[in-house]
């Protein structure tokens, strides 16, 4: 612990966000990093706790507390305070394959479990992580390190999202010959096409993919396994298969008028924008994407995806934005039954909502509300939506609490574009069928608890396809754990670390 009084001597500083009305004019990341000197001071605030909850990754009351990757947070905070940025990178890379991703898109479970956060502001751990990895690229520490010895074993990873990339990275380090199959034109999965540029610029992904290629990982893009390539042929060609295709089956809204033109899934909306930006040097061209320009936009669903739709629609030039949340508004501060270090169940106003407030003068979110009917005009285009208020009620059959309609609470709003951000329902069936793997009741690929081996010999799974829709940091952990089990099955022993 470099400075025992650091948490008392210094106040929290974080990366500075560009003002909302300014940043909505572009699609670039909009935070200005701290200087190296400022970042070192923030490292001094870490208390090097006897029990570092920040890196625990334990489940408390059904939610993760601390980093699922068990990042060695106190160690690298101390190292940057003492100016040893190179060693800080090596300690960070020991547990996290992709700090360039998590330092941008992770909700910082570590900070919410920080002991400093019990009475003061938590340590700005995510900003410190960002500083470490970007300095490592600048100084050349994050260069490619191909394995010195190859095992001759061949592994195919299906899907190049964070879990697939993590599994591929680990297995390649071990010396196996790894090929990653991706159905899209570029690798990255939802990192590329599900997360907007404002949160993760795509050259950051390409930078890491390039290093992985230099280290020996082969990427086969534009190849849709289960359609372009049969599962049986891959099982013959490779010693092991890792299915990491994500939970890419979007949940729909079953309401009258759903067939109206002007209703689409959030992932399609976000993907079309990313593709258009990439094709036109970060400038949008009309007709090449699903446009919200001049439209009254309704986002159905909260969470990160809903917020991303709000921020993207505003950048398109939406006339107005409404966001529907089925659940009641969370409290602004921790409730008595939600103590530290549990994940705080409090209301979070994210960047998209902040921008809507700055532009339109009010929070776009409407709580305990859903769509009862979509209304079409004479041409079949969406023009209105009938909304209904909800209240929590106990289901008489199951005993579970559910959100039920309040009779007579319907009202109508004008809508030109509806974006469905209601989550995902597990993996797409054609991939599972291609390999004959069993699914559980949630349509995720079935395995024994804590295991990644499917019912099919030599076929493993990881990430959202295995656990359901989750965070990037959980996907990386699953990829690492699956890689360890694959390696053990191939070699009879393993020296791959998962933490």
Q: What is the pLDDT of residues 367-387, one digit of tens each?
A: 999 999 999 999 999 999 999
Band of pLDDT at residue 2, cut at 50, 70 and 90: low
Band of pLDDT at residue 499, cut at 50, 70 and 90: low
Task: Provide the token pair at 454.
Answer: 């499917």
- Domain 6-139: which CATH number of 1.10.1060.10, 3.70.10.10, 3.30.9.10, 1.10.390.10: 1.10.1060.10
pLDDT: is 466 or 498 the higher one? 466
Topology given in CATH for the domain delimited by 263-420: FAD/NAD(P)-binding domain (3.50.50)
| Cis previous bond, 451, omega within 30 | no
CATH 3.50.50.60 domain locations along the chain = 154-248+425-491, 263-420
* Residue 125 to residue 224: CA distance in whole angstroms: 38
CATH 1.10.1060.10 domain locations along the chain = 6-139
* Adjacent-strand bridge partners of 445: 439
Given a cut of 70, whether residue 199 has pLDDT beyond it is yes
Least confident of 26-30, 164-168, 398-402, 480-484: 398-402
Determine whether domain 154-248+425-491 maps to CATH 3.50.50.60.
yes
């Amino acid at each position: 612990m470099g400075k025992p009084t650091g948490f008392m001597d210094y106040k929290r500083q974080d990366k500075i966000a560009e003002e909302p009305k300014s940043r909505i004019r572009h699609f670039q990341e909009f935070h200005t990093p701290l200087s190296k000197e400022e970042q070192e001071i923030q490292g001094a605030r870490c208390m090097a706790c006897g029990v570092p909850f920040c890196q625990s990754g334990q489940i408390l009351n059904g939610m993760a507390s601390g980093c699922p990757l068990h990042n060695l947070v106190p160690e690298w905070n101390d190292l940057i305070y003492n100016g040893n940025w190179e060693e800080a990178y090596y300690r960070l890379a020991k547990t996290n394959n992709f700090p360039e991703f998590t330092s941008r898109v992770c909700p910082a479970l570590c900070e919410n479990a920080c002991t400093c956060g019990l009475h003061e502001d938590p340590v700005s751990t995510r900003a410190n992580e960002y500083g470490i990895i970007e300095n490592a690229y600048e100084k050349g520490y994050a260069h490619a390190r191909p394995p010195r010895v190859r095992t001759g074993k061949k592994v195919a990873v299906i899907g190049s999202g964070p879990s697939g990339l993590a599994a591929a990275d680990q297995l390649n380090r071990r010396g196996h010959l790894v090929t990653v199959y991706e159905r899209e034109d570029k690798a990255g999965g939802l990192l590329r096409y599900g997360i907007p540029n404002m949160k993760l610029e795509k050259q950051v992904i390409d930078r890491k993919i390039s290093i992985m290629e230099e280290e020996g990982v082969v990427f086969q893009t534009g190849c849709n396994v289960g359609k372009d390539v049969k599962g049986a042929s891959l099982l013959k060609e490779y010693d092991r298969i890792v299915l990491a295709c994500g939970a890419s089956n979007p949940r729909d809204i079953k309401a009258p008028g759903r067939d109206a033109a002007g209703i689409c899934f959030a992932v399609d909306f976000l993907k079309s924008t990313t593709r258009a930006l990439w094709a036109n040097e970060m400038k949008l061209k009309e007709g090449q994407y699903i446009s919200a320009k001049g439209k009254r936009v309704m986002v159905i669903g909260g969470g990160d995806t809903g917020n991303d739709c709000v921020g993207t629609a505003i950048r398109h030039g939406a006339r107005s934005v409404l966001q529907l949340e089925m659940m009641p508004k969370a409290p602004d501060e921790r409730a008595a039954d939600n103590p530290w270090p549990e994940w705080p169940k409090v209301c979070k106003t994210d960047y998209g909502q902040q921008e809507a407030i700055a532009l339109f003068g009010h929070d776009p979110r409407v709580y305990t509300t859903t769509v009862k009917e979509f209304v079409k005009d004479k041409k079949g285009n969406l023009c209105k939506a009938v909304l209904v208020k909800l209240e929590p009620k106990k289901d008489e059959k199951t005993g579970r609490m559910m959100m039920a309609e309040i009779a007579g609470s319907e009202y109508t709003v004008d809508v030109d574009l509806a974006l469905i951000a209601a989550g995902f329902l597990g993996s797409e069936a054609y991939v599972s069928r291609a390999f004959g793997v069993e699914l559980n009741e949630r349509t995720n690929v079935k395995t024994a608890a804590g295991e990644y081996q499917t019912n099919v010999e030599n076929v493993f799974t990881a990430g959202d396809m295995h656990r359901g829709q989750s965070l990037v940091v959980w996907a990386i952990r699953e990829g690492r754990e699956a890689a360890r089990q694959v390696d053990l099955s191939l070699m009879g022993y393993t020296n791959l670390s998962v933490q």
